[in-house]
Amino acid sequence: MPDLPDYDSPAALKTFLEVRGMAMQKKFGQNFLVNGTSRQRLIDALELQEGQSVWEIGPGLGAMTAGLLTKNINLSVFEIDRGFISVLKDLFSESENFSIIEGDVLRTWKKAIELKGIPDRFFGNLPYNIAAVIIADTISAGVRFDRALFTIQKEVAQRMTAKPGTEDYSSFSVLCQWAYDVAPVMDLAPGCFWPRPNVTSRAVVLNKKEKWPQCDAPEVFLSLLRGLFSSRRKTVKNNFSAWLALSPYLPQGGNPDDLARELLQTAGIDPSSRAETFELQVFLRLADTVYYAGKNK
């Protein structure tokens, strides 16, 4: 393996890039984790076993990649930056259990699952602009990983672990907690990264729920979830009737307010309550109520 750059030294990384005529691209949320202790803690938290398949999103110059490859796993990395891709090829392509999936991970991950199956571990010090999207996209597509570990903006992490009745509780909280047990691992101060981001980051671990709480029509649940949180100040009845009005579940000529009241009563939900106080089971129950009411019409 060629000499690796000193991943703990911003000065060394800067020179490494300059020598190759490369520049950082702000639009790709590029902040390198230059703290070796934090990198080791993240790798430990993945609880890797030899031979496992692991995906890393956004390897950058390979700071995490190098550590991951010491674990005798099969590693696929997703990187969008052409310059970084050529560096990664130089540094790691001698490793036969290493492959690069080039391009925007939001466009490539589904195909990768078709080709390689769902990996055992899903990891990334994620670029801030795509963190919530990739997590939501995979869950919404019905794909869950045994264990996922992400470093993300602390605010996004707080939404992922938020409980009903708190300010951070959102449709994203419900979505994440539907599929996974989510727990914080550690906070990473801006100084752990180069360049320094403006925000604190947090690593979170997502462990696949043993029993995925199901409903009979996940697509109704996913759409309803967004609808019920669309305006936080409104009661569930108001958000629900606005959602029904635009849904295929409102019969032609039907009154969305009346249908909302009727379905909420069937599901045992107080129309004056607010979605931000609901446990997961309440959303699942309402989704099924909508689905079966539509089927029986």
Given a contact cutoff of 8 angstroms between Cβ atoms, the answer to whether 216 and 284 are in contact is no
Given a contact cutoff of 8 angstroms between Cβ atoms, the answer to whether 220 and 291 are in contact is yes
The one among 5, 66, 79, 147 contacting ligand SAM by CB under 6 A: 79
Site string (25-64) toward ligand SAM, x via CB under 6 A: ---xxxxxx-----------------------xxxx--xx
CA separation for the pair 136, 138 (Å, rounded): 6
The one among 130, 152, 250, 269 contacting ligand SAM by CB under 6 A: 130
Contacts with ligand SAM by CB under 6 A: the residue count is: 23
CA separation for the pair 79, 20 (Å, rounded): 18
Task: Pick the stretch among 80-88, 157-165, 214-222, 280-288 that binds ligand SAM (CB under 6 A).
Answer: 80-88
Which tokens is 208 given? Answer: 């696949």
Q: Is 123 in the site for ligand SAM (CB under 6 A)?
A: no
Site string (250-289) toward ligand SAM, x via CB under 6 A: ----------------------------------------
Buried b (16+ CB within 10 A) or exposed e, 37-76: ebbeebbebbebeeebbbbbbbbbbbbbbbbbbebebbbb
Q: How far is the CB of 103 from ligand SAM (least distance, A)?
A: 7
Q: How far is the CB of 64 from ligand SAM (least distance, A)?
A: 5
Q: How far is the CB of 171 from ligand SAM (least distance, A)?
A: 22
Q: How far is the CB of 9 from ligand SAM (least distance, A)?
A: 13
| Residues forming the site for ligand SAM (CB under 6 A) | 28-33, 57-60, 63-64, 78-81, 84, 104-106, 125, 127, 130
